A and B are shown apart, each in its own frame.
Chain A
Amino acid sequence: MPRYSGIERKQARWGLIFVAPAMLFFAVFSYYPILNAFATSFFNKRALSKAPPRFIGLDNYLRLFSLKTAGNELSFYNSLRSTAIFTVGTFVPLLVLSLLAAALIASLDGKRAKRALQVAYYTPAVLSSVVAATIWMLIFDPRGLANQWLNGLLGLTGVDHLWLVDRSMEQLSTMIIYFWKYIGYFVILFITGLSSIPPTIYEAARIDGAGKLQVFGRITLPLLKPTVVMVSIMSMLQCLKTFSTQYMLYTNGAPRGPINVITFNIYVTGIQEQYLGRASAMSVVLFVVMLFFTWFQFRLSKADDVEY
């Protein structure tokens, strides 16, 4: 048991006072909903009912994983599958391409060009979902730009690629929208990580005759490891929590089955169908999945062993 001196105790007390607002914020908007959802998941609770919710033990969880519903397009199993497809299909390109884009921007000489590219990449991230929806619905409309571009590229005319209709194309559409919206955010994070690498290391490498690819592979990547780990965890968690893109497509008439990711299933079950207990059980499962993958990524990366 360490003993603290008077001044350390005083500092700690002030520290506590300073973190209190953040603790309050997290308590209201994170801890309380988590605990509440966990408790609710053991009850049969309907959104509008005034009657006290009925305790049903693990029934909500058993229902989610019932093999009877496995073949149903809107089952929880299908949501797990849709979430996995979306996460892998979005998280990997997001991570790789945002890193490459950041490296490209960082390697540019002109400050103006750098800033212009940063702004260009980041702009979609600040657009509201409504604006993003309007833009993408115009693009994916059968008469829209997506069909025109793809037909132009493939030398076809009048082919509808069914961006919002075909199962695979609908999933691809959600991935494209999400990628477009969030790549800028991760590019900025990578640029920040790149700028923290001491330039002296690059100078030493250049004096030793290292080429650009060698510098990127042997210096930039290893030293960027903490940022890569952080970005990969953040982007993976964001992909697992994806909702607004799927909601936007669904409200514009796209079928629900192929894009019924866990969060969207939670929304439909809890808000539209009013089964709050069942939706809470889904959110607890999602929480456990996210916790597991975060832990797994930390284990794989051992992020702390980078030293300059």
Chain B
Amino acid sequence: MKRAIALLSMIALMAPALLFAKDKKADGKQITINYWTHEDPARTQLEKELIAQFEAANPNIKVVRTTQAAVKLIELVQTAFAANQGPDMFNLPIENEYAYITNRRVAPVDAKAAGYKSAKDIAAKYAPGVLDAVTVDGKLYGLPLELTNWCIYINKKVFRSAGLDPEKDYPKTWEDMMAVSEKLVIKDGNILIRRGFDFRYPYYLTFFVPMVEQLGGKLISDDGKTAIVNDAAWLKVLSYMQQWGPSGKNLGSPTYKNARNLFNLDNNDIAMANTGLYQQGRIEKDNPAFFKSGEWMVVPFPTFKGAVKNTAACYYGHYFMVNDDAAKEVQEASWKLAGFLLSHGEDYLTRGGNIIQPTKALLESKTLKSMPYSDVFIKDMARAHMIYYGPSSAELQTLIRNAVESVMLSGVTPEKALATLKAAAQEIIDEQ
């Protein structure tokens, strides 16, 4: 009996190893690509059409497209890779994706499978610098699905209702932003009924770090050895956020509803939101009347008065990447699919969620230039830089989030929050 129990226990304990064993070989000639991407209804519609065309042209390839909310996808992809069960092809923001390259989790781009003559041919077709984020030791590991920057969307009606002229009074500096917001807010006691503007929490690498850079600060020093450079700049921006929050001038908070989504509704909840060109497609979908009304406009990302650097919100990229553990034929098929999807840049721009694939051809196209306010986005992109990406960029963003939200919401002083942030960020950099 004891022997039977021991045997059963051993089988039970070994079962997980057997169950979780992976088999990444392609099944004969039939190839299945598991493609994971973030939710975007317009892009989903377009990609379903394109994938159907791709499958018709490649009968031996089946594409299983899975979507998840953008934030959830970051965790799912990471958890799947940690268990060696990652998708064959995926896209994430570069600040989350870069660690996959440094950890050798993704395969180099197969230029020929993607429809290019060579890696040089790929480089020649894209805008300068956009492939730098996915180039390590001379090898290219990703192809850009989109490159996005954020400007400020303004609801003209809300401005006028507060006695402001949107064309003249829109905020050019962060000091203006606070002053204009104070005029725009409507409060019931200390409850905000209408906000002037609110930040895009928790994407701090995209909007907060550039604010620090405007004042001469840096997230990481040029030699890559020191985290959080120029305390004075960081303290000034942390103090600004403290003033913005409920314990300061009470102009906004991460606990209020997402400003970007409220903006589309045009229901006098918010006057300004920080978002990308793609927002236009979403306004059109959520509120066609507002989209067509001419009552919204886009202005550049503000700078601080006396800024030492004229920089706008960072731009970030989503890149298609392919799992290095996938069978070679699956990798090849995945790059073929990526190349096929990316050959429809104008479709993505016009009916695939208004996203910009940063090819030279698309950036110079009439289609992009004729889109409302695309010139504002293009000019802001010219004075911006790619979001910080490194093996630990996602962790650094979490640390900045903790620092900002502790001063805005938990009553922590900017000095204490900065000291905590600095120590934790330095530890991460030292470990790298």
A residues touching B (Cβ–Cβ < 8 Å)? 4, 9, 12-13, 16, 20, 23-24, 26-28, 31-32, 35, 46-50, 72-74, 140-143, 147, 156-160, 162, 164-165, 167, 251-258, 268, 271-274, 276
Q: How many residues of B contact A (CB 8 A)?
A: 49
Is B193 within 8 A of A143, CB to CB? yes
Asked whether A48 and B105 contact (CB < 8 A) given A28-B15, A32-B16, A158-B191, the answer is: yes
Is B188 within 8 A of A157, CB to CB? yes
Which of A49, A160, A164 interacts with B189 by CB under 8 Å?
A160
Is B255 within 8 A of A165, CB to CB? yes
Q: Min CB distance, A264 to chain B, in Å?
A: 13
Is B395 within 8 A of A274, CB to CB? yes
Which residues of B76-122 are within 8 A (CB) of A? Answer: 78-79, 81-82, 99-100, 103-105
Residue in chain A with minimal CB distance to B10? A27
Asked whether A255 and B15 contact (CB < 8 A) given A16-B4, A48-B103, A158-B187, the answer is: no
Contacts of A16 in B (CB 8 A): 4-5, 8
Is A255 within 8 A of B103, CB to CB? no
Residue in chain A with minimal CB distance to B396? A273
B residues touching A (Cβ–Cβ < 8 Å)? 1, 4-5, 8-9, 11-13, 15-16, 19, 71, 75, 78-79, 81-82, 99-100, 103-105, 187-193, 201-202, 246, 253-257, 394-395, 398, 402, 405-406, 408-412, 420
Q: How far is the CA of A182 from the CA of B391 in the complex (A)?
A: 40
Q: How far is the CA of A160 from the CA of B189 in the complex (A)?
A: 8
Contacts of B409 in A (CB 8 A): 165, 254-255
Q: How far is the CA of A140 from the CA of B191 in the complex (A)?
A: 12
> When A and B form their complex, what is the total count of cross-chain residue pairs whose Cβ atoms lie within 8 Å?
131
Q: How far is the CA of A41 from the CA of B162 in the complex (A)?
A: 58
Q: How far is the CA of A16 from the CA of B2 in the complex (A)?
A: 11
Q: How far is the CA of A252 from the CA of B257 in the complex (A)?
A: 8
Q: Min CB distance, B19 to chain A, in Å?
A: 6
Asked whether A257 and B410 contact (CB < 8 A) given A158-B188, A271-B78, A272-B394, the answer is: yes
Q: How far is the CA of A162 from the CA of B250 in the complex (A)?
A: 12
Is A164 within 8 A of B16, CB to CB? no
Residue in chain A with minimal CB distance to B72? A251
Q: How far is the CA of A244 from the CA of B188 in the complex (A)?
A: 32
Asked whether A23 and B395 contact (CB < 8 A) given A159-B190, A255-B405, the answer is: no
Contacts of B187 in A (CB 8 A): 158
Q: How far is the CA of A263 from the CA of B220 in the complex (A)?
A: 31
Is A141 within 8 A of B256, CB to CB? yes
Asked whether A31 and B12 contact (CB < 8 A) given A47-B82, A272-B394, the answer is: yes
Q: How far is the CA of A140 from the CA of B255 in the complex (A)?
A: 9
Which of A142, A156, A251 interacts with B256 by CB under 8 Å?
A142
Which of A27, A73, A142 interacts with B255 by CB under 8 Å?
A142
Is A272 within 8 A of B12, CB to CB? no
Q: How far is the CA of A26 from the CA of B16 in the complex (A)?
A: 10
Contacts of A256 in B (CB 8 A): 402, 405
Contacts of B100 in A (CB 8 A): 48
Q: Min CB distance, B292 to chain A, in Å?
A: 29
Q: Min CB distance, A250 to chain B, in Å?
A: 9
Is B398 within 8 A of A272, CB to CB? yes
Q: How far is the CA of A73 from the CA of B406 in the complex (A)?
A: 9
Is B189 within 8 A of A159, CB to CB? yes
Contacts of B81 in A (CB 8 A): 47-48
Which of B4, B11, B190, B255 interacts with A164 by CB under 8 Å?
B255
Q: How far is the CA of A50 from the CA of B105 in the complex (A)?
A: 8
Is A12 within 8 A of B395, CB to CB? no
Q: Min CB distance, B295 to chain A, in Å?
A: 24
Q: How far is the CA of A158 from the CA of B186 in the complex (A)?
A: 12
Is A165 within 8 A of B253, CB to CB? yes
Q: How far is the CA of A140 from the CA of B257 in the complex (A)?
A: 11
Contacts of A31 in B (CB 8 A): 12-13
Can you pick out 29 interface pairs between chain A and chain B where the beta carbons lie within 8 Å of each other? A13-B1, A16-B8, A23-B8, A28-B12, A28-B15, A32-B13, A32-B16, A35-B13, A46-B103, A48-B81, A48-B100, A50-B103, A73-B402, A73-B412, A142-B256, A143-B192, A147-B191, A157-B188, A158-B190, A158-B191, A159-B190, A165-B246, A165-B410, A251-B71, A252-B255, A253-B256, A255-B406, A272-B75, A273-B398
Residue in chain A with minimal CB distance to B202? A253
Q: How far is the CA of A182 from the CA of B131 in the complex (A)?
A: 50
Contacts of A72 in B (CB 8 A): 420
